[in-house]
Amino acid sequence: MSSQRLNKFLAQRGVCSRRQADRWIEEGRFRVNGEPVTLGLQVSEGDVIELDGKVLELKQEKPRRIIVAFHKPVGVESTQDPDNERNLDRAINWKGPRIFMIGRLDIASEGLLLMTNDGDLVNPILKSSQNHEKEYIVVFDSPISDAQIKEMRSGVDIGDDQRGLTKPCGVDRLGRNRVSIRLTEGRNRQIRRMAEAFGLRVVRLKRIRVMNVELGDLPKGEWRYLTKMEEKTLLESLNL
């Protein structure tokens, strides 16, 4: 039987995304056939894979795809670390097969977070080269000028991540200190750092859309399955 990289093997079986698998490998959380694991390790169906000392029971067939929309409240961390009391799993209280997050929202932000058991969805949605939009409602601590909005649309130097200006984005005024922002990339704390570049501070940040999926009136702390049309449109946009 052919072998494949451990991260892909786990993603196809709904354990985690490839990115998450790589992080866990680097953290030393996996063992295969009793041995420590390094990035790029090839595995096959007969191998015994342990996560945090527990053997994973993996089925060969790929599980039914699950995609849910969750309204993450402020104060919940975008982590599934069981030792973190503010973790996502406690907040969502999900009872089905294991699902994991697609992207992140920082602890002070709220809004739409997609979660899935299909690791092959994660990279296509998050890659900035794919130009998939995520939309946010942002409230600043003071008024934002038209000139600042224009400059923000063109790209902002947000400091020390060595990636240059942010990509051009959509920014529409909703009030004196309130805007909607549409990003196609997701740098760490990007909107907050963009605001800081203009001497503004974000006092509320809410993600209301990821690609075609909208938060709508989903209450804080609640989740829902994507509709059949939402899932169909999402998968077609990702060429899946």
Cβ neighbors of 20 (< 8 A, separation 6 or more) are 100, 119
- Distance, CA of 92 to CA of 184 (rounded, Å): 26
Catalytic choice (22, 47, 89, 106): 106
Task: Provide the sign of the torsion angle of the four alpha carbons 85, 66, 133, 110, taken in this order.
Answer: negative
Task: Find the distance separating the first CA and the last CA of the chain, reported in whole Å.
Answer: 25
Q: Which 8-state DSSP code applies to residue 168?
A: P
| β-sheet bridge partners, residue 175 | 178
Concerning whether 106 is annotated as a catalytic residue, the answer is: yes
Q: Which residues of 105-133 are buried (b: 16+ CB within 10 A; e: fewer)?
A: bbeebbbbbbbbbbbbbbebbbeeeeebe
Q: What is the separation of C-alpha 217 from the centre of its chain, rounded to a whole number of angstroms?
A: 20
Torsion of CA 134, 139, 142, 146, to 10 degrees: 40
**Residue 123 one-letter amino acid:** N
Please give the Cα distance from 155 to 166 (Å, whole number).
5
Q: Considering only CA atoms, which of 81, 114, 117 is closest in space to residue 210?
A: 114
Write out the catalytic residue numbers. 106
